[in-house]
Each structure stands twice: as C-alpha cells, then as structure tokens.
Structure 1
Amino acid sequence: MQQYMIDNSQNTGVEDFQMRDSLIETLKCRFTTYGYKQIRTSTFESYDLYAGLTGTVNKDEMIKVVDASGKVMVLRPDVTIPISRMTALNNTNYPRVFYVLDVFRQTPAGDEQKERTQAGIEYFGENTAQSNAEVLMLAIHTLKDLGFSNFKIEIGHAGFFKELVEKAAIKPDDLEVLLALIQSKNIVEIKPFLENLAIDTDLRTAIQAIPLLYGDPLNVIERAKEIIQNENMQAILQSLSDVFNVLKDYQAEDYVVFNLGLINNMNYYSGIIFQGFVNNVGKPVLMGGRYDNLGVQENKQMPAIGFAFEIDYLLDALRQQNLATGHSAPPDMVIYYVKDKQKVALAAAYQLREEGYQVLTFPNDTNGEVNALYTVRYEKNKQLLRGNNETKDFTGTEELVARLQAKREDL
C-alpha cells in the first residue's frame, strides 16, 4: 500500500492559519466600510456555465467531476462569473458585494497549487470615473491597512489595444504571439514580428509603442495621444484621465501608474483594467477590471467592476516585509485547581468565558505551566490571582470577575 504523504506545499500550522485569518479579517473590515456585503457561491458549478463563455477560464485548467446524474461539474475556477449570473437571475438591487472563497485550477504542467483563496469585491454600477476610482481607492486603502508603503496599482484599459488589433486585422495565431511579446515587454522581438505582418506603417508604429506606454499617468496619456487611430481610442484616454483626476482628489495619485500594455487573460473585461504589485513579489497581489457585458448571456445589461486579492501572494509579501501578524499572544488566563476545588474552578472558568475571556483549565498536578496573562490557582485553603507582577487572593467568582474587569478597564 502506498504511504499517505502530507502535502507540505502550503503553510498549514496554527500560527500560519492565524496569520491568514488576521489578514482576511482586515480585508473584510475594509470592504465593509465601503458598503460591501459578503456573499458566497457554490463550490461546484456547472461546466456549461464556463464553457459557454469565450475568453474566460481556460477549459483545460478546470477541475472537472461528474455527479450522480452524469452531469459534468467543475470546482469553482472563477468567482466573478457565478456572482454575475446570480445577480442577473435574482434581479438583486444591492450593488456592492464581496467574497472570500477558494478557486480551483490546474496548470498543464501541474507545477502550481490547484486551490487558491481569493478575497474580492464586485460593484454593479454605471461606468463612471467616480465608480471606477472608488473601486481603485478601495484596493489602495486595503493595501495601506496591511501596512504596505511601497506598492503600485497599474491601470490600463482593455479597449485601447483592442482598437489597434481590430484595425490591423491580425490573425488569431499571430495575435497570440503578439500578446505574449507585449506582456513580457519584449521590445526586441516585437518590431521584426510586426514587420512580417501586412500592417500599415503608422499602425505598426502604434502597436510597437504599446509596451512603452508605462509610468506617470499624465506622461503616458500625452505619449498615447500620438498613436491614436480613432475616436474610440480618444474616448478611452479621456476616461482614464477622468479616473486619475478623481484619484488625485482621493490623494492617491502616488500609488498609481498607467500601463497601456496591460493585458488580462480574462477577455470579459471591457473597460478599465488594473493590477497591484507589492515590492519583492513578482506576481500581482490583486487583479481586476470592468466587465460591462458579462450579464448579456442572461439577457441583462449589467455594468460592473471588481477585483480580487490573491491571499497567498499577500501573505508572502507580508512575511517578506516583516508585516505578518498572527494571534500568537498567550491566553487571557489559565486556571489550576486541586481535586477538591474542581467544581468551583470549572464553574469560574465557565463564567469567565461568558465574560469573553479565553480560559484554559488544568488539574494542579499537570506537568509544566502554560504562559498566560493571568494565572488563577484554586488550592485547598486559598484562591489566588496572579498577573501584572502581583498576586492577590479572592473569595469567590464574583470578586475574581470584578478584579479582572477592573484590570481590563485600566488598560
């Protein structure tokens, strides 16, 4: 029989989990202050939900199962799609929702973990500079909550590059190669690749410039104006400029850069797209964008924008910058008791827990001592409370609780 092996690819210790839980709680608290309500979706989704949408999750990356009726299901590979469908079908009028859910995908090489936790938001509302900037500000605000000081939100637009591609009429196979070159900012190979395509010189020059349109937003906008090919591209630049002006009113301009070479693998994005990077983490800790046409499959126009944090990447960044905090503090109290005082000691522990204290109990003959903020001893002829470098006796549970509450109020 093959020996069962524990998967050590993820940190699963108690302290690691507490660190993770603390991180998620910080995200949830910030999402809530912007008016978002938590929801969830099913872990198992119909394969047809994703297979019927082009340009979303790669079908080969989905983890498929077959239920008892023979229907093909998938472990949830994406959260935005089922939330959008749920919102459209239920005709919900609540525009702001957030989630903390696991997504499941497998890469062809199988070298990455199949399960990842994402924490994200979805805002169902009109495409305005104010709504887009508010979502970006929420992402910035959350990263600041976590203690990061050196991070950037890269902002682009799904339509800017698409306008050039459509005008150039690039074949799908050639487009796939071009996208890879732009994503890697491979300036050296882009030029000869484009020279082999039947594209006008002006259009070729414009496409070559895309990877270079990165940096200070105002500077990027000015340079991008030089390669505008039509009114749609002009409107896109104006919309990005409007968003940046709102972010300046939020006093958040130092945290953003423009990247018109930003390309997201999820082709359902229709407008502004963005991703967040933290120092020393090579992958984006958050990705998002506007997807105004995703509800069309349910015959409902439903403008929306959202983003998702990758929890594991955030944890890596927190550890690297010594910002990770777990709940490794000692318990509030440990109670030791002799056999004759077991009943009164356990009753006291119950009452203290009712008051919200974390309490551990042990018989007096237990080996070793547990470190705690307070130690209570029920001995044969006395009852002692030790803490804050002092030891005092007490007569009963009411007096013990009163003394602890007085200490709590002093703090």
Structure 2
Amino acid sequence: MIQKPRGTRDFFPDELEARRDSEETMRRAVSRWGYREVATPEFENLELFTLRSGEGIIEEMYAFQDKGGRDIALRPELTAPVLRMYVNEAKVLNKPVRWFYFGDCFRYERPQKGRYRQFWQFGIELIGADTSSADAEVIAVGYDLLRSAGVRFELRVGHLAMMKSLIVDLEVDIQKKVRGCLDKRDYGALHEVLPDTGRADQLTALIESKNLDDAFAITGAIPEEERIRETFAILDAHEVPYIQNFGIARGLDYYTGCVFEAFAENLGAENQIMGGGGYRLAHLFGGEDTPSCGFAIGFDRVMVSRGEESPRRPVTVAVVATPEGRIDSIRVASAFRKAGVRTITDLLGKSLSAQLSQAAKHADYVAVIGKREVEEGMITLRDLSTGEQKQLTIEDAVAGVVGIGVS
C-alpha cells in the first residue's frame, strides 16, 4: 500500500467542507475592506526566498533543480511571491494596492502537532501606503478575519522603534542575542548578555509597560512617537481590542515599524495564529523601495482552534423510487439540481426500504416517487429531522427546499 508523503494530510468531505466554509467566511470578511484576491505559482525561483532570508533557509525548503537546470523551490510562504508579482506586473497600479491571498505552502521540517510539510496561509498585503492609518487598517483587518472565523484569541500590538531605540548602539551580534532573550522572555539570560544592568532593566520595563506614556518615559523622545500614538488612537477608533506589547522581537531584521501577533486561546504551546507588520521588500526583487504592511494567518491552526464546530452545509435531498418511478425520479432530481439543491439518487438498484435507509445517513429530505406519485404527477417529500411528510407538486417541493437553503 502506498502511503501519503510524511507531513501531508488527506481531507474527507466533512472536514474539507468545514475548511471551505471557514475559507469562504474569511474571504467575505476581507472583501468588506476592499481587498481582492491574487494567486501566484506554487513554485518559484529559489533566489526569491534566499534574497529575503539567506542561504540557510534552503535546508527548510523543498528546493530542487528542474530539467533545465534552474534552481526552483516550492513556496514556503506567500509574501515574497506576492511582492514579486507586484514588482513584475503591478507597479503602475494606483496606490495603495489592497491584495489578499489563500494558498498552500511547503516547508521541509519535522512534522508535529499543528505543523505540517504542506500547510495553508491566508493573508493580506497593503502595498504603497506608509501611514499610521495604513498600519491600523491592516491590524483591524486581521482582527476582523479571526473574529469572523470564530477564533478566540488575544491580539498584541507593538512597534519596533521602541526596542531599537534602546539597543541601536550595540554590536549586531549582541542585538541578536538580546532579541532572542526578549522573544523568550528570558530576563535572566538578558542580564547575562547585557552586563549593563540599567539597560537590561530598561528593556524589561519597556516590555512590561501598560500604556504609551509609560513606554515613552522609558525610551525618551523618539522620531516615531507621533506615528505610534496615532496608530494606537486609530486602532481604538476601529474598536479593536488589543494588548500593548513592545517586546515583540521576532522578525526584527525583516519588519520596519509596527508589528503585531495573535495567539489563540485553545492551541497550547503552538498557539500563534497570526503575525504581521510593516516591511519593505519590493526593492530586493528589482522594484522601487515601497512601503508595505501585511500579515499571514495559519489557516490550519484556525481550523484546529475552531474545534468540532459544524459548518453550515447545503441541504441535501435524496430522491428514492420504486421500479415504476425510476424514470420520473430522474426528472425530479434534475429539477432540484437546477434549483441549486444538492441531490443524490440510487445507482445500485436497491429496494425502496434500502434506499430510504441509505438516505437517512446522508440527506435532510427524501423525495419519494412510487406508482401512486407517478399516476398523480406528485412527489412525497419527507423531512428526515421531524418525520413530517407532504404530497406536493415538484415545483412546490423544490421551492420549499430552496427556501431552507442551508442546515
């Protein structure tokens, strides 16, 4: 028996329908903000990713040479491909450009709970706007998406200028060690990296600050202060609940300004479900230096966080028939399908009782066509949830079921 590749999954209909339901909910939510969907190839030139992250990332990727000797990689994320697409084909569009994406990505890493070698990302990129309003909108969209998807989460918002102002004069290697300590909230290690106890205490106090006034009392005046205050004020106007966190340290070499993360309440250790911020990538791919802001949501974690919540699914009608009604049953099924109703019929020549038993496992309604129904030009429509049944014309039966819509 040939098994599926390690780190991948098969999805049965119930699970896939739940995923499609969440996906569509998130698409509708992001569309309300004016973002439109784009799609990029599942494989790109390897250089697209090494330019951003360095050669070391190759060990974590599905990278290979194609038959023409070109270095290719399955995409490990979607921000770089979307910015490559912008530089290649969309630089002349009016700014800002509002795009969203949904797609599968691939990373060669050890599979574990919540981590797969093939996984899905949902995200947005706001390209060409360098304002506090743009930063706040992206954060608000991320909040709206997760809330719409039914995720319970905590949103943390910060700005890298605060931390950078306290470590900018340190050697690069020391800065990296400091960021590692802050990311892990390992204050003991932080004091070992920074013999200057005063500086370590400042960084600790910044992370633990509860409001902007306390944070700026620690950093002193910095050029970005007005923009930071504006961003938080606009977030408040959007009525987005968040926790101030100026200790977000991951991606400091990548992000350039605002940063934010969301953590789901019920995912255990692997609970980060969204991450994003302001960045500048376009110039790496041959474009102009263009301000951008965006985020990525781990869609697989959204599904785990939602748990066993049942998706809305289309109402299903099973058309069953005696031998006398089989030909008429085809026309009845066709009428339901033309009206957009999911409809199933017997293909194995089962008895009426066997058909009814099978229908009870898969359908919400049963349309029965027997000898009497054929003679009278009617059908018997049974609601399987209540047991109630009525003899109706095909038109009335279809109209009744269409009015139900979803279950």
How would you bin the TM-score normalised by the shorter chain?
0.7 to 0.9
**CA–CA distance in structure 2, aligned partners of residues 92 and 117 of structure 1:** 30
Amino acid at match of 2:186: N
**CA–CA distance in structure 1, aligned partners of residues 55 and 259 of structure 2:** 15
**CA–CA distance in structure 2, aligned partners of residues 110 and 389 of structure 1:** 47
Deviation at 1:139, TM superposition (A): 1.3
Answer whether contact 1:63 1:105 (CA < 8 A) is retained: yes
- Among 376, 391, 394, the residue aligned to 1:393: 391
1:359 aligns with 2:343: yes
Deviation at 1:40, TM superposition (A): 0.7
Instruction: Tell me which residue corresponds to 2:147.
Output: 144
Instruction: Tell me which residue corresponds to 2:376.
Output: none
TM-score (norm 1): 0.84
- Among 246, 262, 280, the residue aligned to 1:260: 246
Moved more, 81-90 or 362-371: 362-371
Instruction: Tell me which residue corresponds to 2:277.
Output: 289
Question: Which structure 1 segments of 5+ residues have no match?
Answer: 196-200
**CA–CA distance in structure 1, aligned partners of residues 153 and 342 of structure 2:** 37
Residues 237/185 of structure 1: CA separation in 2 closer, same or farther (3 Å cut) = farther
**CA–CA distance in structure 2, aligned partners of residues 384 and 54 of structure 1:** 64
Residues 61/159 of structure 1: CA separation in 2 closer, same or farther (3 Å cut) = farther
**CA–CA distance in structure 2, aligned partners of residues 72 and 33 of structure 1:** 39
Deviation at 1:280, TM superposition (A): 2.5
Deviation at 1:186, TM superposition (A): 0.5
Instruction: Tell me which residue corresponds to 1:405.
Output: 399
> Secondary structure of 2:202's partner?
helix
Deviation at 1:272, TM superposition (A): 0.7
Instruction: Tell me which residue corresponds to 1:130.
Output: 133
Residues 56/87 of structure 1: CA separation in 2 closer, same or farther (3 Å cut) = farther
**CA–CA distance in structure 1, aligned partners of residues 302 and 192 of structure 2:** 38
Residues 328/65 of structure 1: CA separation in 2 closer, same or farther (3 Å cut) = same
Instruction: Tell me which residue corresponds to 1:369.
Output: 358
**CA–CA distance in structure 2, aligned partners of residues 104 and 135 of structure 1:** 25
Deviations 1:105-148 (A, max 9, x none): 123x5654211100001111322111111111111112222334
Instruction: Tell me which residue corresponds to 1:339.
Output: 323
Instruction: Tell me which residue corresponds to 1:205.
Output: 198
Residues 38/293 of structure 1: CA separation in 2 closer, same or farther (3 Å cut) = closer
Deviation at 1:296, TM superposition (A): 4.9
> Secondary structure of 1:58's partner?
helix
Deviations 1:259-288 (A, max 9, x none): 111022373211111111121323211011
> Secondary structure of 1:235's partner?
coil
Instruction: Tell me which residue corresponds to 1:28.
Output: 27
Deviations 1:195-225 (A, max 9, x none): 1xxxxx5xx6335433443467xx3422322
Amino acid at match of 2:364: L
Answer whether contact 2:166 2:203 (CA < 8 A) is retained: no
**CA–CA distance in structure 2, aligned partners of residues 309 and 194 of structure 1:** 34
**CA–CA distance in structure 2, aligned partners of residues 19 and 119 of structure 1:** 16
**CA–CA distance in structure 1, aligned partners of residues 156 and 302 of structure 2:** 17
Q: Superposition RMSD on alpha carbons, in Å?
A: 2.7
Residues 221/71 of structure 1: CA separation in 2 closer, same or farther (3 Å cut) = same
Instruction: Tell me which residue corresponds to 1:193.
Output: 193
> Secondary structure of 1:52's partner?
helix
**CA–CA distance in structure 1, aligned partners of residues 390 and 201 of structure 2:** 78
Deviation at 1:361, TM superposition (A): 0.9
Amino acid at match of 1:132: D
Instruction: Tell me which residue corresponds to 1:280.
Output: 266
Answer whether contact 1:213 1:258 (CA < 8 A) is retained: no
> Secondary structure of 2:345's partner?
strand
- Among 310, 329, 335, the residue aligned to 1:325: 310
Amino acid at match of 2:135: N
Answer whether contact 1:56 1:265 (CA < 8 A) is retained: no
Residues 126/328 of structure 1: CA separation in 2 closer, same or farther (3 Å cut) = closer
1:249 aligns with 2:237: yes
% identical equivalent positions: 20
Amino acid at match of 1:128: T
Residues 222/391 of structure 1: CA separation in 2 closer, same or farther (3 Å cut) = closer
Answer whether contact 1:210 1:260 (CA < 8 A) is retained: no
**CA–CA distance in structure 1, aligned partners of residues 202 and 211 of structure 2:** 11
Deviation at 1:97, TM superposition (A): 0.7
Deviation at 1:408, TM superposition (A): 4.6
**CA–CA distance in structure 2, aligned partners of residues 62 and 75 of structure 1:** 7
Deviation at 1:81, TM superposition (A): 1.0
Answer whether contact 1:56 1:266 (CA < 8 A) is retained: no
**CA–CA distance in structure 1, aligned partners of residues 63 and 7 of structure 2:** 24
**CA–CA distance in structure 2, aligned partners of residues 70 and 391 of structure 1:** 67
**CA–CA distance in structure 1, aligned partners of residues 180 and 293 of structure 2:** 25
Residues 389/137 of structure 1: CA separation in 2 closer, same or farther (3 Å cut) = same
